[in-house]
Amino acid sequence: MSNQDCPHGLTLTTCSLCKAKGSPTVFYSAGGQKYHFDIKCRTFEEGRQKVRDEGGVNAPIQSGPEYLVKMERDRCRNCGS
């Protein structure tokens, strides 16, 4: 999903459902399955460290409103409880 598209087939600036106020910004990376409220979440960093330890390269950290990100990922149990 691009930052310009909403799950309703419109853009974020034209969709009244996606203009919802108060949705917190959350963080994630392309390689992960969870989203995080804290960019410095211990669990988030441990996952990224595991990728590096195995010789991989971390995907860039991305951010977005929770109401959109939660459609594709689960909430982190550590920082999202």
Task: Write down the pTM of the prediction.
Answer: 0.73
- The predicted structure's pLDDT at residue 9: 76
Counting as low any pLDDT under 70, the low residues of the chain are 1-6, 12-22, 81
- The predicted structure's pLDDT at residue 51: 95
- The predicted structure's pLDDT at residue 17: 66
Burial code of 64-78, b = ≥16 C-beta within 10 A, e = fewer? bbbbbbeeeeebbee
CA distance to 22, 47, 80, per residue, from 51 (Å):
33, 7, 22
